[in-house]
Amino acid sequence: MTRLSVNINKFATLRNARGGNNPDLIKVALDCERFGAQGITVHPRPDERHIRYEDVFQLKAQIKTEFNIEGNPLEQKFVDLVLANKPEQVTLVPDASNQLTSNHGWDTIQHQQFLKDIIATFHQANIRVSIFVDPSTQMIENAVHTGTDRIELYTEHYAKHYAIDKTHAIKEYITSANLAHQLGMAINAGHDLDLNNLAYLKNNIPHLAEVSIGHALVCDAIYLGLENTIQLYLKQLQ
């Protein structure tokens, strides 16, 4: 079964727009769990424009499902945050500090030693590690040398081309997933996945362990309601 981890960053963006605590991020996370989500994802950034560092501590104390913290380990503050909270999973993303959203995976050749060292640090704390990668056989072949437990396939290209030619759009992802599995790495996926393209991805990507979805899910929830939306996403993963 492919697990659904709900990225709650956009709920934090909405809260921060007016100050105060509406919506209540802890309640949102607990409701996502209650409605069936198997994990909660946060991606704190240095400017704390959505998830605040204090949110991470509060969420860790409350949620019962898998906790996944995403971010760039070049930021020591991020590394310290992860080690202090010891989530079930940390997802390493090569974002610039001022980047609007993730837009590429790691170069696992150029950054191989850095990734190897930081992954070893998280492994010492018994934290599972996933690294963000593009669907490139070269990047995946070199990802295994970092010691990562999982890769997270960056799915923007798939989502962008799904409506044009879904068979072609997913081809390199199938190849990449098969290779990662052969090399002993589990497979996650995320970015621009939604109710239109999720089921096709799940049905064609072998060994897909987890998807992390935030923006599209929150947008759907505005129209459909959060509980109904989570059920619809879970249905796509069945």
Q: In angstroms, rounded to a whole number, what is the distance separating the alpha carbons of residues 171 and 161?
A: 11
pTM of the model as a whole: 0.94
Q: Which domain holds residue 179?
A: 3-236
Confidence of residue 12 (pLDDT cuts 50, 70, 90): very high
Of 33, 50, 152, 191, which is the active-site residue? 191
Confidence of residue 206 (pLDDT cuts 50, 70, 90): confident
Annotated catalytic residue 43 = yes
Q: Residue 25, SS3?
A: helix
Annotated catalytic residue 181 = no
Of 33, 66, 70, 210, which is the active-site residue? 70
Give me the number of domains the chain comprises.
Answer: 1
Q: Which long-range contacts (CB under 8 A, 24 or more apart) does 26-33 make?
A: 26/58, 26/59, 26/62, 28/226, 29/59, 29/62, 29/63, 30/62, 30/63, 31/226, 31/227, 32/6, 32/8, 32/226, 32/230, 33/63, 33/64, 33/65
pLDDT at site 102: 57
Confidence of residue 129 (pLDDT cuts 50, 70, 90): very high
Q: Give pLDDT tens digits for 143-171.
A: 999 999 999 999 999 999 999 999 999 99
Give me the CATH number covering residue 145.
3.20.20.70
Of 43, 50, 66, 210, which is the active-site residue? 43
Confidence of residue 105 (pLDDT cuts 50, 70, 90): confident
Annotated catalytic residue 161 = no
Comparing 45-49, 164-168, 223-227, the range with the smallest average pLDDT is 45-49
Confidence of residue 98 (pLDDT cuts 50, 70, 90): low
Q: Chain-wide mean pLDDT for the chain?
A: 95
